[in-house]
Structure 1
Amino acid sequence: MSKPNKIVVLYVDDEENNLVSFKAVFRIKYKVLTAISGEEAIKVLKNNDVNVIITDQRMPNMTGVEFLENIIDEFPLPTRILLTGYADMNAVIDAVNKGKIFHYLTKPWNEEELDMTITKAYEVFREKVDEKEMNSKLTISNEQLEFLVRQKLLS
């Protein structure tokens, strides 16, 4: 029987071996979704509630940063992690500024470090969800308060 409420992680990488390795390592602890491109990852996001996104930077057609930048408006809640095998500081800067990443890791990834990063990223995700819910409640409360004040003024 599968453990309910697993953290849902989307791993995006153009190297199929990396997708298989990631899934093999983390499939028991997390619900792992994979995509071989940014385009495929967008389809996965449209059909699943994803908590954490991990993407490789260097991919054909769309880099990891471009992918993260493209999804921000439609999928603002998932926490983002960028992986790259290259020490490309420009990519890191772009990822922070444009892709709103939570964390940057180098490839090949260390299983323990990546696991801890996913756990921390999920905590950030939960905080964003809680904040969104609280803001929604405050909006309703403000509308109710405004209604009561108008009623008082009219009477």
Structure 2
Amino acid sequence: MSAQHIHILYIDDEIHNLNAFKASFRRLYTIFTASSAEEAEKVLEKEEVHIIISDQRMPRMTGIEFFESILDRYSEPIRILLTGYADINAVIDAINKGQVYKYFSKPWNDEDLRHNIEKAFEVYALRKENKELTAKLLDVNEKLEFLLRQKLIS
């Protein structure tokens, strides 16, 4: 899959950060932005998203709380947390509660973030392929069991 087909949702309550992110990466990826968790959920309902990048400190809901709230419904996208604050408890919570793949400090380095987006998509693609192969294996196993039962009956 080409980089352009990687769909990223970036959530930040600061509009200038949303604009900077979109300006930096719109030529490489398909970018969706949201200024709140509520807006982000609406995007997730309508669009296929491979990677979700969220700011940690936002009004009403932190990035970690957002990731935790969507895990059951949207478990496949890879989650990346961005923050302007070096808070070790936020890092621990991000990993344990929100199942965050990476944690970056603001301001981000475009090249470093781009590299990690590519790596995150590799993880996404491998997980998806693994899920598909497991489903095929279960199907084939079921068919083999049926054939074995048929052979035992006759």
Shorter-chain TM-score: what band?
A: over 0.9
Aligned to 2:89: 90
Structure 1: 4+ residue segments shifted above 6 A: none
Report SS of the residue matched to 2:5.
coil
Over aligned residues, Cα RMSD in angstroms? 1.3
Q: Deviations over 1:75-101 (max 9, x none)?
A: 111111000100011111011011111
Whole-angstrom CA distance in 2 between matches of 1:146 and 1:60: 54
Give the letter for the 1:13 counterpart. D
- TM-score when scaled to structure 2? 0.95
Aligned to 1:44: 43
Q: Which runs of 5+ in 2 are unaligned?
A: none
1:123-134 equivalences under 5 Å are 123-134=122-133
1:5-154 equivalences under 5 Å are 6-154=5-153
Report SS of the residue matched to 1:82.
strand
Aligned length: 153
Whole-angstrom CA distance in 2 between matches of 1:39 and 1:128: 27
Whole-angstrom CA distance in 2 between matches of 1:129 and 1:113: 24
Give the letter for the 1:102 counterpart. Y
Percentage identity across aligned positions? 56
Whole-angstrom CA distance in 2 between matches of 1:51 and 1:4: 11
Whole-angstrom CA distance in 2 between matches of 1:95 and 1:134: 29
Structure 2 CA distance for partners of 1:4 and 1:12, relative to 1, 3 Å = closer
Whole-angstrom CA distance in 2 between matches of 1:33 and 1:42: 11
- TM-score when scaled to structure 1? 0.95
Deviation at 1:4, TM superposition (A): 8.5
Give the letter for the 1:73 counterpart. D
Q: Deviations over 1:28-73 (max 9, x none)?
A: 0000000111121111011111111100000111110011111111
